Amino acid sequence: MRIPFRRRNVPPTTIPESTTALFFGMGVANIIMQLALPGVGRGVFESRVDSGSAYRRVIKRQRTTGQYLAVAIIGSESDKLAYRSAVREVHSHVHSTPDSPVHYSGNDPKMQLWVAMCLFKGFLDSWELTYGTLDAATRNQLLAQGKSLGTTLEVRDSQWPTTFDEFERLWAATLPELAIDDDVRAHLTSLADLSFLHAQWGPAGRLMSLALGRQLMFMTRATLPPEFRELMGWTWSERDQQKFERAVQLHRAVDFVAPWLSPASLHAYLVDLHVRQALGLPTLGKLHVRE
């Protein structure tokens, strides 16, 4: 149902409701959090699955990532089964080699649990950075819904935290395991400033990076928790914080008049999935694995 205006004093009851306009500028920050777990970072950097690489197919990657969020949050069981099967096949090709600095597997439930926790934190942070901290009951309610971000793939029900306090303890316990090596850091930096588009789109990519890269880099630094900024070697000043607070005011204005943006985008992704299924197209598109 279309919400005409956002009422900031009314806490969200669902994850789509918690997604503010700020969420749309937080994507790279969330990727950085995910890839800070060494197995995830090296898995993405070393992946031979070219068909799922943002470096080679950025629009497709954007679609499949957004579509996964839609399937996990509002999709039916059949939608989730279709995505689980498709992602499992892709992830079967993502595994460490004897030359890899860390051991990893794309279908490892522990790695997927961390990614799912980062995705949930992204939804939660989009609200709390915009409107302030939610109460414990609301956090717990959203956390229960967020379980599907992991269980849609290989995460077991028993692995997902049952309370937000438990979530925070698990998050804190994982932080000492995080590290970003030079290869992964360069990869992430090129996503944040859009310079990865240079090779993919040529002059058009350079123009987009020039026009939007600086702002995306700022929003990425702004919405990234301090411990992850430190891993990236990025600084944050009082002047930066003041600039971000002004940006948040603008996002609040957009969010007030168009709180339906996120729910509408989630439903659009589901429509796209169902059209693809009706046409007999692969859920994630044609799979291409580099030899």
Asked whether residue 197 is domain-assigned, the answer is yes
Task: Tell whether 243 is covered by a domain.
Answer: yes
Q: Please give the pLDDT value at position 7.
A: 63
At residue 10, does pLDDT exceed 90? no
CB-CB contact of 267 with 66 (8 Å): no
Please, what is the average pLDDT of the chain? 93
So what's the pLDDT on residue 133? 96
Query: Does residue 4 lie in a domain region?
Result: no
DSSP state of 193: S
Return all residues near 216 (Cβ < 8 A) that are at least 6 apart: 25, 28, 192, 193, 194
2 — pLDDT class (breaks 50, 70, 90):
very low
Q: Is the pLDDT of residue 110 over 70?
A: yes
- pLDDT tens per residue across span 22-44: 999 999 999 999 999 999 999 99
Residue 290 belongs to a domain: no
Confidence tier at 257 by pLDDT (50, 70, 90): confident
According to the model, what pLDDT value does residue 9 have?
Answer: 66
The number of angstroms, rounded, from the C-alpha of 257 to the middle of its chain's C-alpha atoms is 24
Q: Distance of alpha carbon 219 from its chain centroid, rounded? A: 14
In a domain, 284, yes or no: no
The answer to whether the pTM exceeds 0.75 is: yes
Is residue 105 helix, strand or coil?
strand
Mean pLDDT of 73-99: 95
For residues 211 and 108, what is the distance between their CA atoms, to the nearest angstrom?
38
Whether 210 maps to a domain, the answer reads: yes
At 150, list the tokens: 């992991």
| β-bridge partners, 289 | 49
Residue 156 has pLDDT above 50, yes or no: yes
In a domain, 140, yes or no: yes
What pLDDT shows up at residue 5? 56
Note whether 193 and 211 are within 8 A (CB): no
Q: Distance between CA atoms of 87 and 164, rounded to whole angstroms? A: 28
- CA gap 135, 113 in Å, rounded: 24
Mean pLDDT for 133-144 is 97
Which of 69-83, 146-160, 197-211, 235-249 has the least mean pLDDT?
197-211
- Residue 74: pLDDT band with limits 50, 70, 90: very high
pLDDT of residue 20: 92
- Range with lowest mean pLDDT among 3-7, 9-13, 50-54, 158-162: 3-7
Mean pLDDT of 6-35: 90
More confident residue, 144 or 289: 144
Q: Which domain holds residue 42?
A: 16-278
| Res. 197: pLDDT tops 80 | yes
Classify the C-alpha dihedral 25-30-33-37 as positive or negative.
negative
Domain count, the chain: 1
Residue type, 88: R
Q: Identify whether 289 is part of a domain.
A: no
pLDDT, position 282: 92
DSSP-based helix, strand, coil % in the chain, nearest 5: 70, 0, 30
What lies within 8 Å, CB to CB, of 69 at 6+ separation is 119, 149, 266, 269
Query: What pLDDT does residue 130 have?
Result: 95
